[in-house]
Amino acid sequence: MAAAADKAPCPPREAGQSYPWDSDDLMRGDKFAWVYIDVDRTGRALQCRVGENNIFDPDTRFQLCNAYTEDWHASPAAAGDPDRRTIKRQTIMIGSDHELANQKARKAWFKLHPEERPECYPE
């Protein structure tokens, strides 16, 4: 058996990036919101609004926007972009049905990709 040092490094992964087996489809029990974030030329969030959604708790909607305005950055503006632009993003908070579907898809994906190492894709 090869030593751990002989293994290729895990591929880089961006925070919040979906796994290859994850479904973006809405499923029963999921909560979603379309979020509109105004950003400056550097990509820093200035203001956030929640559009169409099925999140009935106002505090949860507030916390969602707060996360975007405090912790999220867009790409810097390109030449010709306005000083202030609005970015539309969909956020999905998965429910238990979605979680079970992702777990099943994870198992199937690793069977189809035996060269991949589960430790590179933490649960």
The 10s digit of each residue's pLDDT in 64-121 is: 999 999 988 999 999 999 999 999 999 999 999 999 999 999 999 999 999 899 999 8
**Residues 6+ away with beta carbon under 8 Å from 29:** 94, 95, 96, 97, 98
Give me the pLDDT at residue 49, please: 96
Domain locations along the chain = 29-95
Q: Let me know how long the chain is.
A: 123
Strand partners, 47: 38
When the pLDDT of each residue in the chain is averaged and rounded to a whole number, the result is 90
42, two tokens? 């550097």
Q: What is the mean pLDDT of residues 14-41?
A: 91
To the nearest 10°, the Cα dihedral for 119, 5, 17, 30?
A: 10
pTM (two decimals): 0.74
- Helix, strand or coil, per DSSP, at residue 77: coil
